[in-house]
Amino acid sequence: MQYISTRGQVPPVDFSTAVAHGLAPDGGLYLPETLPDLKPKLADWADLSYPQLCDAFFSLFATDLDRAELSAMIERSYQNFDHAEIAPVRKLSDSLYVLELFHGPTLAFKDFALQLLGNFYEAQIARTGKPISVLGATSGDTGAAAIHGLLGKKGVRTFILYPDGRISPLQERQMTCTGADNVFPLAIKGSFDDAQAAMKTVFEDREFADEIGLSAVNSINLARILAQCVYYLYSFYRLPAALREQTTFVVPTGNFGNVLAGWLLQRMGVPIKGFRVATNQNDILHRLFQTGTYALGDVAPSVAPSMDIQVASNFERFIYYAEGCDPDKVRAIMQTFKSSGQYTFENFDPGTFSSSRTDDAGIASIISEVYRKYSYVVDPHTACGFTDLPEGPNLILATAHPAKFPDTIAEALSVDSTHPSLEALKAKEVVKHFVEPTPEAIKAFMREHKQA
Ligand SMILES: Cc1ncc(COP(=O)(O)O)c(C=O)c1O
Ligand SMILES: N[C@@H](CCOP(=O)(O)O)C(=O)O
C-alpha cells in the first residue's frame, strides 16, 4: 500500500515513511492511494477481539512492516486499558448506545492511536538508529495521550504545545507531572488553532524536520486516523445485528479526526448508516454542514475545551474526496481558506453527515438529564453528542472520562466523578515551559532541548 498527499506535490510513500513524516512535505495530509474493500472480510472479522481486529485491519495498510512485529506492537498497545473489551459498548436504551473510548491510560479516545503510535516510533528508532523529536499541539487530550504513549521510549523527545489556561487543570497535570526529562509541555498564549498553525509551519520546514528527526502525533498523522477506524468497526459488530445498518454514529467533533476515521471506514464498504458531527459552541463544522460555507469564527473557550477548535485540520482529507480526489482543487481551496478565512462549496453535498451544536448551558443540562434518565455520567464533550439525536438508533462516542472535567461535572451533578490515576497527579510537581506560538520560537526551543 502506498500513501499520497492531498496536495499531490510529492511522490507516493510507504506506510513507515508516511508515519515518520506525519505531515506530507508539500503541506498536505497523507491518504492511502486506494481504499481497500472490506466487504468480503466483514463476516470473518465479526468475532475478533479488539487487538485481533486491529491487527487484521492494519495488515492491509502497514504493508512494509514485518507482519509478526506489527502483531506484537498491536498486542502491546492495548495492554494498558482498564476494560477487558478495550472499547465497550454500553446500552442506555433500546435505541441509544454509548461507545466508551476512555478506558486507556489517559482516559480519552486518543489513547487508542497514541499507544500504538508510540510503539511504531520505537520500532522506527530501532530500525533507523536515529532519535526523533515529536512535536504536537493539543487542546487537552492529544498531548497527554502522546506523552504517555511515548513515555519511556528510548531516543524520543516529546514537545507539546497547548493553550495556557484553556485546558482542564487535570489535563494539564497529565502532561506536566510526568517527572520525565525528555517531555516538554509548551504553554502558549493563544488558542489551540494558533498552536496547530505554528506547528504545521514547523513541519513545512523540511531542513529543520530532517535535522531534528521531526515526527507528528496529531491526527495529521495517518496512523492516528487508521487506528481510530478500528473502534468504529469493533463497535459496529457489538450492536444488535438488526440495528447495525440503521445506527447513526454520533461523534463529538473538533479537529475532525475522529469522525473522519468512521467515514473512511464507511468508504471501505462497512455499511454504517451515517455520522452526526456534534460540535460545541465552536461550530465551524456545524455551520458548514448546514450551509455549505466553511467560515472561520473566533474560538470561544467552552466547558468542552478539547473541542475549542475552528480550523479542523482533517477537513482537508474530506475535501480531497469531496472534490473528486483532485489535489489541484484541494490546494486552491486551502489557499482561499487561508487567505480569506472562508470557502463556499458549490453544490455542497453533506452525504451521510448531519450536525449539531451545543453551547455551555446545553452541555450542563445534558449532563444532568443523562444522569437523571440513565444514571450515567458523561463528560462535557460526550454530552454534545446527546443534542437533537437523529431518528433511529444512535451510538454516541464517549470520547473522554468525566473525571478529567470535575468542575463542570460538579456544577451539574452531586456524584463522585474522581479517578484514581488523576487523583494521584495532584501531589506531583508541575513542570512546564512557555514559548511564543511562532515557528521560529518553537524551532529555537526544540534545538536548545534536542538530543545530545
Ligand atoms: C474529549 C474529546 N472529544 C472530542 C474531541 C474531538 O475530536 P476530533 O478533534 O477528532 O474531532 C477531542 C479532541 O480531539 C477530545 O479530546
Ligand atoms: N482535541 C484535540 C486536538 C488535537 O486533535 P488531534 O486529534 O488532531 O490530535 C486534543 O485534545 O488535543
The number of the ligand 1 atom at minimal distance from the alpha carbon of 219 is 10
Position 25 in a domain: no
Query: Which cell goes with 363?
Result: 452541555
> Cell 509541555 maps to which residue?
185
Query: Which cell goes with 129?
Result: 538508529
Protein residue whose Cα sits closest to atom 12 of ligand 1: 306
CA of 253 to the centre of ligand 2 (A): 10
Shortest-distance ligand to the CA of residue 139:
2
Task: Name residues whose C-beta falls within 8 Å of residue 17's C-beta, 6 or more positions apart in sequence.
Answer: 3
Task: Name residues whose C-beta falls within 8 Å of residue 206's C-beta, 6 or more positions apart in sequence.
Answer: 25
Give the DSSP H or E segment for 264: helix 257-267
**Cα 96 to Cα 392: distance, rounded to the nearest angstrom:** 9
Q: Which domain holds residue 295?
A: 89-107+223-418
Protein residue whose Cα sits closest to atom 9 of ligand 1: 255
- A 10 A CB-CB count for 14 gives 15
Position 309 in a domain: yes
Catalytic residue among 39, 91, 110, 443: 110
Active site residue 110: yes
Q: Show the beta-strand stretches assigned E in 237-346.
A: 248-252, 274-279, 293-295, 342-344
Query: Which cell goes with 356?
Result: 449539531
Q: Which of 236, 231, 293 is nearest to 257 (CA)?
A: 231
Position 97 in a domain: yes
Residue type, 125: I
- Tell me which residues have their CB closer than 6 angstroms to ligand 1: 108, 140-141, 219, 252-258, 306-307, 381, 399-400
Which of 226, 276, 307 should be mutated for ligand 1, with most atoms under 8 A from CB? 307
The number of the ligand 2 atom at minimal distance from the alpha carbon of 218 is 9
Q: Which of 348, 341, 380 is nearest to 363 (CA)?
A: 380
Query: Which cell goes with 234?
Result: 469493533
Position 306 in a domain: yes
Q: How many residues appear in the chain?
A: 452
Protein residue whose Cα sits closest to atom 12 of ligand 2: 138
**Cα 92 to Cα 77: distance, rounded to the nearest angstrom:** 29
Helices (H) and strands (E) in the chain, counts: 19, 15
Give the DSSP H or E segment for 275: strand 274-279
What pLDDT is stored for residue 333 in this prediction?
Answer: 97
The number of the ligand 2 atom at minimal distance from the alpha carbon of 306 is 1
CA of 313 to the centre of ligand 1 (A): 12
Position 374 in a domain: yes
Alpha carbon distances (Å) from 100 to 226, 237, 420: 18, 15, 18
The number of the ligand 2 atom at minimal distance from the alpha carbon of 313 is 8
Shortest-distance ligand to the CA of residue 382:
1
> Which ipTM was obtained for this model?
0.99
Position 154 in a domain: no
Position 256 in a domain: yes
Contact assessment for residue 238 and residue 48, using Cβ atoms and an 8 Å cutoff: no
CA of 24 to the centre of ligand 1 (A): 22
CA of 31 to the centre of ligand 1 (A): 20
Q: What is the CATH number of the domain that holds 363?
A: 3.40.50.1100
CA of 220 to the centre of ligand 2 (A): 10
What pLDDT is stored for residue 451 in this prediction?
Answer: 77
What pLDDT is stored for residue 129 in this prediction?
Answer: 96
Which of 171, 306, 384, 401 should be mutated for ligand 2, with most atoms under 8 A from CB? 306
Contact assessment for residue 214 and residue 124, using Cβ atoms and an 8 Å cutoff: no
Protein residue whose Cα sits closest to atom 9 of ligand 2: 218
| Count of the separate structural domains present in the chain | 1
Regions in the chain scoring below 50 on pLDDT: none
What pLDDT is stored for residue 450 in this prediction?
Answer: 86
- A 10 A CB-CB count for 240 gives 11
Query: Which cell goes with 450?
Result: 534536542
Contact assessment for residue 95 and residue 106, using Cβ atoms and an 8 Å cutoff: no
Residue type, 452: A
